[in-house]
Structure 1
Amino acid sequence: MDPYGDAEGKEINVRFLQADSVRANFIVQNFNLETANSLRRVMLAEIPTLAIDVVEVLDNTSVLADEFVCHRLGLIPLCSKGVDDLLYSRDCDCDGYCENCSVVLTLHAKCTGNEIMKVFARDLAVSAGRPNEEVGNPVITDAEGQGSCIVKLRKGQAIHMRCIAKKGIAKEHAKWAPSAAIGFEYDPANKLRHLDYWFEDDPKKEWPIDEERVNLDGGPEQEDQEFDYDAVPSRFFFDVETVGGLDPDQIVTLGIKTLQTKLAQVIHELRGGGDNADGQDFGGAQSPQMNGGGFGGQDAGYTTPYGGGNASVWGAGNPAQGSTTPYGATPYGGAPPSW
């Protein structure tokens, strides 16, 4: 029995199986595989969120190195509700950061007692000047209300850091990922035979079937049922789990919006509507340091500091650029080096 088999017409419809502040489990029906997978990829990597991107170390006498603590700070989830009120760094006129493109958090703690002092995400103080009262707040979901543990301090040790949180996407770094995981499945009974199960003795015992999803997908395949070589998947199971910065329904909504924007940009370019001199449209989500921002120019990362173009430090000015060693010859041909 297929409880969702009587969907009216062939229009796309969504049915939620579970929805709360942590995860959303739903079915998308009358869809196609390419679009469903595109939505999954967009929700994973192209939804703008907020994360600590720059850390100014003012004092750190803990046992952890500055770089270690900074990396931990970058992975602390921050509330990204209302992140659209912030500009990307590339679009801001400031030199480094300002209230229009960033949120500043301060971490200042010192241990004065004999017991070990733990510094948590709750100790991050958000500076004034942010666009709304939610964006930039550390995500704290534990019962104690402490959040992630950043560092431990002994008596006399201190830590003082200024953290600049910026808007970005997970394509640049995983710290901007809005979701912990996104489950994606179609054809749970493998009736389309897209999978060949690896097994030792009995595939049915070694690969148990998810009875709930199989029943939601029309039930298991019958033994006397003929195989349809032309069948395509049309029902997809999504399971979106958030890290806390955005609610699951916001991730889905923003994923659809971002995908629509990307498709609109493609149509715009195909119609010859590019407005930029280089034919690129930067209206979509990008990370703070894409397109040369923060790295010294448009061509940063493609040339060495010793020469133009793609010449190496040892080959600049030589007709065979990049093909010689610093001693003037390769070990595989040419004149032997005069040592």
Structure 2
Amino acid sequence: MDIQLAIAPSLAWDWRYGVNDEKAEALYKKAVSEQWQAEQLNWEYLVDPARNLLDPARETLVDAAFFRLLKKSQREHFEALCVAETLSQTLHGEQGALLVSCQLAQSLPGMDAKLFAATQAMDEARHIEVFSRYIYRLHDVYEPATTLGRVLGKVMSARHWQAKLVGMQIMVEGLALANFSKLRAATNCELLRNLLRFVMRDEARHVAFGNQYLKSSLAQMHADERAEVEDFAVELVREYRMWGRNPGDLSNFFANLIAIGVDPPDYLAQLKAGFAASGSLALAPKMMQGLEAVIMPGLRRVGLITDRVRDCYLGDELDAAVDMRTLEDLEKSLLA
């Protein structure tokens, strides 16, 4: 999929070079002090995609009953391909975050915020380097899922920089942080665990910046423009809510089935049989967990779940009165 976007974000100069936002400055200084290099990771570590990449007791990517019936070698091969595909979507998201952070460095109004956006651009460049190097040890890089490409396009072309912050810092990076936490707990690969530890620390700063900076800036927006940002958040949540229902979101998954000798129609038939027996079908439960545990709390914290849009989330089966503890605990563990 070739995503071509030519966006000219607004350019905001700031001629004040003192400290105007203490919280943004603190995150900038933390980002500077926590810069790391790819070579700090042990790239000599042998990554064997055919040997128990994921711990069966903690595995989070392939937990359907259908896959428990496969041969051990098939399952391990499939798990490695799924990790490569998951990290490929992460890699594409990191490129989107790199481009958006460059846009934000131009359009954010305060110098402290601009400096933080510049450190984020460096973080994203490093993430692209380490994820691509790791993926090629497992497989090739997969194409972006249709929904991800659509989300990134909407974030990059958003009219207001506040919407870009919502789309990237709260949603794209928030979901990435939730997925990284699950994958790090599940993998037996020391290199991947350490890589994710470094990346998660960076992402936690990005999410924290979005949450801190948005709350005050949204309160200062004109009511009509703020409503646009509220609607934009609803639109992106709906995009993620529907992940997996577009054929373009599943093409990589079906290619992985074929790679291990499983006919996709056979898999779908088993899935339908399971649905008939249990009455439930969880095609993308991990996406829903991320939305409920990280995204909805983030939107609530910055004040985007207003009375005007609350019913939109309830209609999509997302609780607008969300529990903040998971997000706060995750941030506390990574930002300490």
**TM over 0.5, shorter chain:** no
What interval of TM-score do these two structures reach, taking the shorter chain for normalisation?
Answer: under 0.3
* Structure with more helix by fraction: 2
Give 1 or 2 for the bigger CA radius of gyration: 1
